[in-house]
């Protein structure tokens, strides 16, 4: 069996667009969704917190139970029981359960895309791609787990047999962000489960509805209730899971400050904890696109604009900076400015929308704060933006000093900064000076330049002569270096290794007599 990416929907087809709008209408009739806390066989709903539509904040999308630190402890306890049962199942059986969950998401894909449109203001193409990526993670890790289960070939010698197998670690705490509300929690949870661990999922507070749908699909597919808990809630629940001595693996995706705090807290190893915790942390970025003097600007301009402003710049892979050769800097800025001014800012539910609102008020304020810091550096913006919803105008800035916070900190919104550089070596020095190293881009027509610059850049994922977002499971294993991450590539062949421990058995096969009973 080989892996193939789930095909995205062809949104240029009118009947398909109509089906998506129908799915949205039908979802709207059911809002607000109720998202319970699921621990063991127990389901608790009731007063908690709400997720709202970023484009119309008075619309409540989901009402979720709010887990407490005590609930986190109960979930880990149940997961310990669940681990015993789930890890005892053959890998092939677990893989089959994950494949059934993928099928369940596939059946519900229109509805799940509609949910992201409402809950996270994800425009249709990105919402659909997110559902496809979630399906991909389930299927890819199911296959990878079978491969891992075979163990590795190691050196043999006469008179002994050596085997190397991988065993699941135990309870995995999965702590997820909101910006890929189905795909990212799905990827981390699927990896933990595929490798035989139990999982306790703490989704982002902004997107409990999507996480609820994921957990439903996994339970319906056959993951035992004890082996997968859902804890809707805020940061303190995540922190309680990180501290819990019964947790073995922490799979986190989110911002660098939270990731670094998790790395620090999880290194505490109290006497009653018989293992050292393993942390997989995928964090933020400050992603640069390098443009050489010989670049094809007809390719570079749309590639950069889509990478910087698609989903309002709220992908971890989004372009935040352009480092352009000074010989063409003025031309590129002029062309980017023209492209930015005509960007369509609007509701995620409208098919023509290129830039939706940002996720919440705090994000809107953050983007506007950085825009103010840019001062006279602002060269273009798509304005005005709608009053209702957390819209932030897509903005292009240029010529800011290298040490400006706009150039060095992750903004996570629709703001792109252009800096002229002497040449690509200078550009590589700038990239090298940043604490982040997630994605990067390079536009150049010289194969020698591509080879030289690619070898120099520390980023985890470099895209050449194309946009820098949209990594595909299996094709572009994804993850950053430096302060952008300490995990090994989601959707790649090394990922599951983080959720298992290797065990080697060496057996003396020289028999000295046979026991007779
Ligand atoms: N590298 C990647 O693959 C990748 C992918 C997506 C998003 N991101 C990054 O995620 C960020 C956006 O997501 P976000 O706003 O949800 O991030 P965030 O760090 O604010 O929150 C992520 C998760 O951590 C939880 N959390 C908060 N404080 C915690 C604590 N002290 N202990 C444990 N858990 C805690 C949150 O409740 C949430 O579930 C951006 O920085 C983006 O670059 C990275």
Instruction: State which ligand 1 atom lies nearest to the alpha carbon of 484.
Output: 1
**pLDDT tens track for 102-114:** 999 999 999 999 9
With a cut of 80, say whether residue 12 has pLDDT above it: yes
The β-bridge relationship of strands 228-230 and 198-202 is parallel
Give yes or no for residue 358 CB within 6 A of ligand 1: no
Give the model's pLDDT for residue 511: 76
Q: Token digits for 333?
A: 């800025």
**Section 229-242 average pLDDT:** 98
Ligand 1 atom showing the smallest separation from residue 254 Cα: 10
Active site residue 282: yes
| Nearest-angstrom CA–CA distance, 342 and 338 | 7
Query: Would you say residue 41 has pLDDT above 90?
Result: no
Find the mean pLDDT for residues 301-305.
98
Annotation: CATH topology of 287-464: Aldehyde Dehydrogenase; Chain A, domain 2 (3.40.309)
DSSP-assigned letters across all residues of 49-77: EEEEETTEEEEEEEEEE---HHHHHHHHH
**pLDDT tens digits, residue range 115-162?**
999 999 999 999 999 999 999 999 999 999 999 999 999 999 999 999
Q: What is the DSSP string of 311-354?
A: GGG-STT-EEEEEEEGGGHHHHHHHHHHHHHT--B--TTSTT-S
Q: Which helix (H) or strand (E) holds 82?
A: helix 69-88
Nearest-angstrom CA–CA distance, 345 and 384: 9
Q: What is the pLDDT of residue 47?
A: 72
Tokens of 250: 């922490």
Choosing from 282, 354, 409, 410, which is the catalytic residue?
282
pLDDT at 512 over 80: no
Q: Distance (Å, rounded) from C-alpha 137 to C-alpha 143?
A: 10
pLDDT mean across residues, the chain: 97
pLDDT value at residue 431: 98
pLDDT by residue (tens digit) across 261-292? Answer: 999 999 999 999 999 999 999 999 999 999 99
* Distance (Å) from CA 224 to ligand 1 centroid: 27
What is the C-alpha to C-alpha distance for residues 325 and 327, in angstroms, rounded to an integer?
5
pLDDT in tens, 16-32: 999 999 999 999 999 99
Say if residues 76 and 39 touch (Cβ distance below 8 Å): no
Contact 327, 333 (CB under 8 A): no
204 lines ligand 1 (CB under 6 A): yes
The string of DSSP codes covering 116-163 is HHHHH---HHHHHHHHHHHHHHHHHHHHHHHHHHT-B----BTTEEEE
* Predicted pLDDT at 487: 83
Neighbours of 325 (CB within 10 A): 22
What pTM was computed for the model? 0.97
Nearest CA to ligand 1 atom 41: 255
- Å from CA of 435 to ligand 1 middle: 17
Tokens linked to 198: 């139990």
Residue partners of 204: CB distance under 8 A and separation at least 6: 176, 177, 178, 181, 211, 254
pLDDT tens readout for residues 194-222: 999 999 999 999 999 999 999 999 999 99
Q: Is 133 a pocket residue for ligand 1 (Cβ < 6 Å)?
A: no
Mean pLDDT of 155-172: 97
Residue entry with tokens 């129908």: 22
Residue 110 confidence (pLDDT): 98
- The pick from 258, 413, 485 for probing ligand 1's pocket by mutation, whose C-beta has the most ligand atoms within 8 angstroms, reads 258
For residue range 72-90, list pLDDT tens digits in order. Answer: 999 999 999 999 999 999 9
Residue 170, pLDDT above cutoff 80: yes
Q: How far apart are the first and last CA of the chain?
A: 46
* Cα→Cα distances 16→110, 111, 165, Å: 10, 13, 46
Residue 516: per-residue pLDDT: 72
CA-nearest residue for atom 5, ligand 1, is 316
CA of 254 to the centre of ligand 1 (A): 2
**How far does the centroid of ligand 1 lie from the alpha carbon of residue 503, in Å?**
33
**How many CB atoms are located within 10 Å of the residue 133 CB?**
27
- The single residue listed with the structure tokens 């003396």 is 508
Pocket-testing residue among 187, 230, 255, ligand 1, by greatest number of atoms within 8 A of Cβ: 255
List, for residues 257-269, the tens digit of each pLDDT value: 999 999 999 999 9
Any atom of ligand 1 within 6 Å of the Cβ of 179: yes
Cα angle value 71/73/74 (rounded, 5°): 65
476 Cβ closer than 6 Å to some ligand 1 atom: no
* pLDDT tens digit sequence for 413-449: 999 999 999 999 999 999 999 999 999 999 999 999 9
- Mean per-residue pLDDT, 309-334: 98
Identified catalytic residue from 120, 132, 288, 316: 316
If you count them, how many residues does the chain have? 517
Ligand 1 in reach of 329 Cβ (< 6 A): no
From the CA of 259, give the closest atom in ligand 1.
19
- The predicted structure's pLDDT at residue 406: 98
- 387: which 2 tokens? 């009053």
Query: In this structure, how many other beta carbons lie within 10 angstroms of the beta carbon of residue 241?
Result: 31
Cα separation, 323 vs 218, in Å, equals 44
109-120 vs 124-149: helix crossing angle, rounded to 10: 120
Give the CATH fold of the 34-50+72-157+165-283+484-499 domain. Aldehyde Dehydrogenase; Chain A, domain 1 (3.40.605)
- Give the rounded percent of residues in the chain with a pLDDT score beyond 70: 99
Give mean pLDDT, residues 456-472. 98
At residue 515, the pLDDT reads 73
What residue spans define the domains of the chain? 34-50+72-157+165-283+484-499, 287-464
Beta strands in 228-296 (DSSP E): 228-230, 247-253, 278-282, 287-291
The C-alpha atoms of residue 348 and residue 121 are separated, in whole angstroms, by 5
Question: Residue 230 forms beta bridges with which residues?
Answer: 38, 201
3-class SS at 238? helix
Distances (CA, A) of 294 to 192, 283, 428, 429, 443: 45, 33, 17, 20, 8
């Amino acid at each position: 069996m080989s892996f193939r990416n789930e095909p995205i929907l062809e949104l240029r087809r009118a009947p398909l667009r109509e089906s998506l709008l129908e799915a949205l209408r039908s979802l709207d009739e059911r809002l607000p969704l109720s998202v319970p806390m699921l621990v063991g066989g127990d389901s608790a709903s009731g007063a908690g917190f709400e997720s709202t539509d970023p484009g119309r904040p008075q619309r409540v999308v989901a009402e979720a139970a709010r887990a407490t630190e005590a609930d986190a402890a109960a979930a880990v306890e149940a997961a310990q029981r669940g681990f015993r049962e789930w890890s005892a199942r053959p890998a092939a059986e677990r893989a089959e359960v994950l494949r059934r969950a993928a099928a369940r998401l596939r059946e519900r894909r229109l509805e799940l895309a509609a949910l992201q449109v409402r809950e996270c203001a994800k425009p249709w193409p990105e919402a659909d791609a997110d559902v496809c990526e979630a399906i991909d993670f389930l299927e890819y890790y199911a296959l990878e787990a079978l491969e891992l289960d075979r163990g590795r070939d190691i050196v043999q010698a006469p008179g002994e047999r050596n085997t190397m197998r991988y065993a699941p670690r135990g309870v995995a705490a999965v702590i997820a962000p909101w910006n890929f509300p189905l795909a990212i929690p799905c990827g981390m949870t699927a990896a933990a489960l595929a490798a035989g661990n139990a999982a306790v999922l703490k989704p982002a507070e902004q997107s409990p509805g999507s996480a609820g749908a994921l957990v439903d699909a996994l339970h319906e597919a056959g993951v035992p209730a004890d082996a997968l808990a859902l804890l809707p809630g805020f940061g303190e629940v995540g922190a309680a899971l990180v501290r819990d001595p019964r947790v073995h693996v922490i799979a986190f995706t989110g911002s660098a400050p939270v990731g670094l705090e998790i790395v620090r807290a999880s290194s505490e190893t109290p006497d009653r904890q018989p293992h050292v915790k393993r942390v997989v942390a995928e964090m933020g970025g400050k992603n640069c696109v390098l443009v050489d003097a010989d670049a094809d600007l007809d390719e570079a301009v749309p590639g950069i604009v889509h990478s910087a402003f698609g989903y309002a710049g709220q992908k971890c892979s989004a372009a935040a900076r352009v480092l352009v050769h000074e010989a063409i800097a003025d031309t590129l800025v002029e062309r980017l400015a023209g492209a930015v001014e005509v960007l369509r800012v609007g509701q995620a539910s409208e098919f023509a929308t290129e830039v939706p609102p940002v996720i919440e008020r705090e994000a809107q304020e953050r983007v506007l704060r950085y825009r103010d810091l840019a001062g006279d550096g602002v060269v273009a913006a798509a304005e005005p933006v709608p009053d209702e919803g957390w819209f932030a105008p897509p903005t292009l800035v240029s010529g800011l000093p290298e040490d400006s916070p706009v150039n060095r900190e992750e903004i996570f919104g629709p703001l792109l900064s252009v800096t002229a550089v002497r040449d690509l070596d200078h550009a590589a020095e700038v990239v090298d000076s940043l604490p982040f190293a997630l994605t990067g881009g390079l536009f150049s027509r010289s194969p020698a330049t591509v080879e030289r610059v690619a070898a120099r850049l520390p980023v985890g994922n470099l895209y050449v002569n194309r946009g820098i977002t949209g990594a595909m499971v299996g094709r572009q294993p994804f993850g950053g270096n430096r302060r952008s991450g300490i995990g090994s590539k989601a959707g790649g062949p090394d990922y599951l290794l983080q959720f298992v421990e290797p065990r080697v058995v060496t057996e003396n096969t020289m028999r000295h007599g046979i026991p007779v009973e």
